[in-house]
């Protein structure tokens, strides 16, 4: 994988006129596909997928829906463990990349283009029933929440889990949180300037290659996720808070930096189950 993937050509469509700007990653699909490759980032490999597999308690031939699947990192990981996976994403170029990567492995994966807020009405999902659903590092790019959860509820068997993984909304708030160093006590801390107010921000997708390419990310407090899930008929039965697997280089601040990294989680994983 190239450390400096070339700047992708503009890949339409983009929003035009007065309509809302799409938040999928179609326009940077080539860059993103090169960046994460077959197995995903080191966070996917070391933290996220091992955690997801634990929460899923995956069984052979389990039917799993991966929502906003991108170019299929989670789909491939689950299929390699025996799952029958359907991945859906609004970015046609990412779905094309996912299908291309599966031409060699030929895993039990079906990829479809579709809007995560319209799952229940998608023609390719009509009449289907899944044993589990996932949304990995994508819910912060989706709005509104309720239609996503309602679609999951409609497609899940009773008692089946939905697993949502996101950057921790209490500590990782775009443009409203940051690391700081307290010289007096010799400790690194996490500064949070705003939490309860829902907000959105434009973030650079790959600053080194094309800083003008941005996407919209949505911050919501934890209560927004829990309450909208419950309102849609999805009961939260487990929450995990995952820290970074990394450690600091040797130096006078190493112990303090490592401690903060292990005490302040990077990711939040929510498992909810369909009921009623």
Task: Quick: pLDDT tens for 151-174.
Answer: 999 999 999 999 999 999 999 999
Residue 106 pLDDT class (50, 70, 90 cuts): confident
Provide the number of structural domains found in the chain. 1
pLDDT at 91 over 70: yes
CA-CA-CA-CA dihedral for 20, 22, 27, 33, to nearest 10: 170
18 in a domain, yes or no? Answer: no
180 in a domain, yes or no? Answer: no
pLDDT at 19 over 50: no
**Confidence at residue 26, expressed as pLDDT on a 0 to 100 scale:** 58
255 in a domain, yes or no? Answer: no
31 in a domain, yes or no? Answer: yes
- When pLDDT is averaged across residues 42-50 and rounded to a whole number, the result is 95
Helix or strand (DSSP H, E) at 86: strand 84-89
Q: Give the mean pLDDT of the chain.
A: 87
Q: Which domain holds residue 137?
A: 26-168+195-248+266-274
260 in a domain, yes or no? Answer: no
- When pLDDT is averaged across residues 181-204 and rounded to a whole number, the result is 94
Burial pattern 111-129, b for ≥16 Cβ within 10 A else e, equals: bebbbbbebeebeebeeee
206 in a domain, yes or no? Answer: yes
Identify which has the larger pLDDT, 23 or 221: 221
**Confidence at residue 105, expressed as pLDDT on a 0 to 100 scale:** 77
Helix or strand (DSSP H, E) at 76: helix 73-80
Tokens at 15, concatenated? 């929003």
Give the whole-number percent of the chain exceeding pLDDT 70. 83
């Amino acid at each position: 994988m190239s450390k400096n993937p070339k700047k992708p050509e503009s890949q339409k469509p983009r929003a035009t006129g007065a309509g809302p700007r799409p938040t999928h990653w179609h326009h940077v699909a080539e860059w993103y596909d090169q960046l994460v490759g077959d197995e995903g980032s080191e966070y996917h490999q070391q933290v996220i997928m091992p955690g997801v597999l634990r929460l899923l308690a995956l069984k052979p031939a389990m039917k799993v829906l991966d929502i906003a699947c991108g170019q299929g990192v989670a789909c491939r990981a689950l299929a390699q463990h025996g799952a029958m996976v359907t991945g859906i994403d609004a970015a046609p170029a990412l779905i094309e990349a996912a299908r291309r990567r599966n031409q060699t492995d030929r895993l039990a994966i079906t990829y479809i283009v579709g809007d995560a807020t319209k799952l229940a009405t998608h023609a390719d999902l009509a009449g289907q029933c899944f044993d589990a659903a996932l949304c990995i590092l994508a819910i912060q790019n989706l709005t509104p929440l309720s239609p996503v959860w309602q679609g999951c509820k409609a497609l899940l068997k009773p008692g089946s889990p939905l697993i949502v993984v996101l950057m921790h909304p209490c500590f990782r708030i775009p443009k409203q949180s940051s690391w700081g160093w307290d010289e007096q006590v010799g400790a690194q801390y996490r500064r949070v300037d705003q939490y309860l107010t829902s907000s959105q921000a434009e973030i650079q997708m790959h600053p080194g290659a094309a800083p003008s390419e941005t996407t919209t990310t949505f911050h919501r407090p934890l209560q927004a996720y829990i309450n909208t899930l419950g309102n849609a008929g999805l009961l939260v039965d487990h929450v995990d808070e995952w820290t970074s697997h990394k450690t600091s280089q040797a130096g006078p601040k190493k112990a303090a930096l490592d401690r903060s990294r292990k005490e302040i989680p990077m990711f939040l994983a929510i498992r909810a189950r369909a009921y009623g």
